[in-house]
Structure formats: structure tokens, C-alpha cells
Amino acid sequence: MYLHGTSKINTAGRLEIGGCDTAELAAKFGTPLYVFDEALIRRRCREFVEAFRATGFQFQVAYASKAFCVMAMCRIAEEEGLSLDVVSDGELYTALRAGFPADRIHFHGNNKTPEEIEMALDAKIGCIVVDNFMELHLLNEIAKEKGAVMNILFRVTPGVEAHTHEFISTGQTDTKFGFDIGNGSAYQAIREALALKHVNILGVHSHIGSQIFEVDGFRLAAERVAEFAQTVRQELDITFSVINLGGGFGIRYVEGDSPLPLSQYVQAITGSIKSLFAKHEYPLPEIWIEPGRSIVGDAGTTLYTVGSTKNIPGVRKYVSVDGGMTDNPRPALYDAKYEALLANRANDPNEETVSIAGKCCETGDMLIRDLELPATEAGDILAVSCTGAYNYSMASNYNRLRRPAVVFVRDGEADLVVRRETFEDVAGKDTVPERMRKQPVARS
């Protein structure tokens, strides 16, 4: 397993992250356990910010909280000077509750409810990324009732096919998100917005997809957006002050993944915008981006306890762990690949090829296929790396499993930032209609 950030094998032959022995973390907090390397999260935030500072552009790096949205993460984003992208009332609530400055929050989503729009207006967030015509008019109406004016970006689809899994690619024409530039609906949206008094057009937003390893897609999106900006300026006399090119910067999950340094994505985006806008003598806009995975992905490691095994000679050996698709649905959803090692015996030589199964009642609940490991025993701790993004945030209670705890580790200290769910969390929201309740047993 590749060792990211502060991860290393310590003198006891165990995986250590943030100066904490992971076997001790497992014993103290239980498993499954999400462990986040705080220093690595902060390093990733700073890589983006420093790369932008070097360009001279005005910018905002909005952490896409969908990747991992908990209050402590919102605190880190604020401390590192980032903005925040939310896509639901729940994410907005989490951010506000964590004390994140509302004016640095951007609200996304293809079907924002009237309640979500109200909540955003009441909180006076920085900007709403408008996704469709219905939302545009609804927002204007609700803002009018409140005597407010909301800053908006238009989410546009530039018609770019990102080279990634089709389920996570969003820049193409056939997508549920945004206004298409090619068929004129983006232009029409801006025309309609010009007549609305309770929205203030900042510019446009494009997000082409996720886990992207090349800069070409971003360059092409920048090109389409720049052409669109120029048309809008010439024909509608509107000058965009903000261009948001979304997130999607890839990370290394397994050998063979070859992400670019984060600064290269920033340079490609800013370089394209600079030359394209200069060509039209267009005032340089602020550039915003929305990285999620590239900030938290490789900072997360999930610890599991090994349980039963099943060997089918000549076929496969299954090693089951105490979590699975409930805490990491990505292998089942996207055929995502992960690496792992035995955290409590990290220096032991690999002896067998096994497949890591989750504990859900589902054949597809496999975390890793064909992994080289030492001979495992029940009670061993398996560490799966790069689980920081879209794991906890996509976790479920399938089979009524309790969602794991989350700890942040740093300089030998481990802070619990989300406690493990209890049975009460799982079943306590249920109610049984009166007519189904069991009669009290009569005593004789």
C-alpha cells in the first residue's frame, strides 16, 4: 500500500498515521474507523491556495463538502481560507453550525427546494449556483418576498466529455445538471435573469466531472466558457466577474493512477482563462474552483477488524471485515479500486492473495479483489487507504449497520470528530403505529 501524508510503518511494525499507532486507534475507538490525517488535509488546501496566489488572479477555492461534510472539516476549510460548496440544506446546516462564514458558502444542486432557497437567503450565503429555469424564477420570487438580492452563478454544461467513469462525468450535453451552452439554454437563462431584480449575476460555473487526471478537459471547458462570456458581453452587455471551473482533480488510489500535482491543474485553468480573456480584451474575472476529493481523499484511511474467512480452493479466498459497502459504497457503485495492508503486522511478508469482503448481505459487497496480504487471522486490523472522499459522506445504514466513528489524527493526538452511531441512532427514529404494538403480556 502506498503511504500517503504522515502515514508510515513504525518501529513496532504497525501502520502509524499522524503519529498515532493505528492498532491502538482501533482498540480505543473500535472498528470500522475512519482515520483522517489532518496535516495532509491542510497540506492539500495550502497547495491550492499557494498555486492560485502565484498566478495573481483573484480566486476562491471552495471545498466541495459533499466529499466529506462534518463540522470539524468545515472548521479546517475555514482556517485554511477556503470557501465552501454545499448541495443541500443538510450540508448548509452543518456548515453554519460549524460557524463557517455564510458569505463564503456557495449553494449547488439541480433541484433545490423552496425551503433550501429560503434557508440560503436567510443565512445570507455568498452565492447560489442556479441550475435551471424553474429555480431562477423561484429564487427571484423568494428573494423578492424577503427584500433580498442573491448573487448567482449559472451552472452551464460546456459539452465536454471528461475521461472518467460515466456516472461521475457531468460536463457533457446529456446530463441532469445545468444549462447547455451549445443549445442556447445558457444564453436564454442569462437573458431571463436580466429582467429579474432580485438576482445579481456574477458569472458562470462549469464542472466537467470527477477523478480527472488530465488538464485538457479543463482547458476545453475554459475555452467554451470564455467564448460564451464574450458572446454574452457583446450581445447582452453583461460582463462576468466570476468564472468557476468546478472540481474533479484526480487522486492516486492505486498504483497506475497518475494524478497531476494540484498546482498544474490550477496553472492550466488560470493560464487558459488568462489567454482566452485577454484575446477578447475581457477584464480578467475572479477564478473559483471546487475541489472535494483532492482535498480529503488521500487523507482518509479506514480501519477494519478481520473476521471470518472462506477459502474456495482454486477459486478465491474471501477475508471478511466488519464493514463494507455501508462505509465505502464506491467499489460496488463505480468498481473503484483500493489498496490495503495489515495495520498491526505491516512488515510481515505477503503470503497469499485474498479478496476483502464486507459484511452486508449482498454479493457485490466486496471492497478489494485480489489483494496480496500476509496470512490473516481473525482480529487483525486491515487498513484501506484513500477513503477520505465519498466514503463517510456516502455511508448508509444498510442491514442496519451503525455508521463508524471518525477521528482526526495529528502530532500523536487523535480527536473524535464524529462518534460511532448507536442502536438508538439506527432504530430510535422508528415508530410503531398503535395498532401494531404488542399487547402488554398479562400476568397471571
Ligand X SMILES: Cc1ncc(COP(=O)(O)O)c(C=O)c1O
290 contact choice in ligand LYS, ligand X, none (CB below 5 to 8 Å, kind-dependent): ligand X
Going from the C-alpha of 227 to that of each of 75, 154, 161, 279, 372, the distances in angstroms are 37, 15, 18, 10, 50
Site string for ligand X, 162-201 (x = CB under 6 A): ------x-x-------------------------------
Among residues 443, 387, 426, 340, the alpha carbon closest in space to that of 33 is found at: 387
- Work out the burial of residue 281: count CB atoms within 10 Å of its CB; fewer than 13 is exposed, 13-18 middle, 19 or more buried: exposed
Would you say 362 is a known binding-site residue?
yes
Q: Does 108 bind ligand LYS (CB under 6 A)?
A: no
Would you say 42 is a known binding-site residue?
no
Q: Does 210 bind ligand LYS (CB under 6 A)?
A: yes
Strand ranges inside 141-183, DSSP E: 150-157, 179-180
**Sole binder of ligand LYS in the list 36, 68, 249, 390 (CB under 6 A):** 390
**Sole binder of ligand X in the list 32, 126, 158, 291 (CB under 6 A):** 291
Parallel/antiparallel/unpaired status of strands 199-205 and 179-180: unpaired
Among residues 84, 80, 77, the alpha carbon closest in space to that of 105 is found at: 84
- Residue 361 known to be catalytic: yes
d(CA 102, CA 373): 47
Which CB, 60 or 211, lies closer to ligand LYS?
211
Catalytic-role residue among 74, 360, 361, 386: 361
291 contact choice in ligand LYS, ligand X, none (CB below 5 to 8 Å, kind-dependent): ligand X
Site string for ligand LYS, 41-60 (x = CB under 6 A): --------------------
Which CB, 7 or 210, lies closer to ligand X?
210
| Least gap, CB of 397 to ligand X (angstroms) | 23
Q: Does 155 bind ligand LYS (CB under 6 A)?
A: no
Contacts by residues 11-17 (CB-CB < 8 Å, ≥ 24 positions apart): 13/345, 13/346, 13/347, 13/348, 14/343, 14/344, 14/345, 14/346, 15/301, 15/341, 15/343, 15/346, 15/383, 17/301, 17/409
Among residues 111, 138, 116, 122, the alpha carbon closest in space to that of 193 is found at: 138
Which CB, 167 or 311, lies closer to ligand LYS?
167
Q: Does 168 bind ligand LYS (CB under 6 A)?
A: yes
- Three-state DSSP at 120 gives helix
Q: Give yes or no for a contact between 18 and 388, defined as CB atoms under 8 angstroms apart.
A: no
Site string for ligand LYS, 66-95 (x = CB under 6 A): x-----------------------------
Q: Which residues are catalytic?
A: 361
Q: Would you list which residues are annotated within the binding site for pyridoxal 5'-phosphate?
A: 248, 290-293, 390
- Where along the sequence are the contacts to ligand LYS (CB under 6 A)? 66, 168, 210-211, 330, 334, 390
Q: Would you list which residues are annotated within the binding site?
A: 248, 290-293, 330, 334, 362, 390
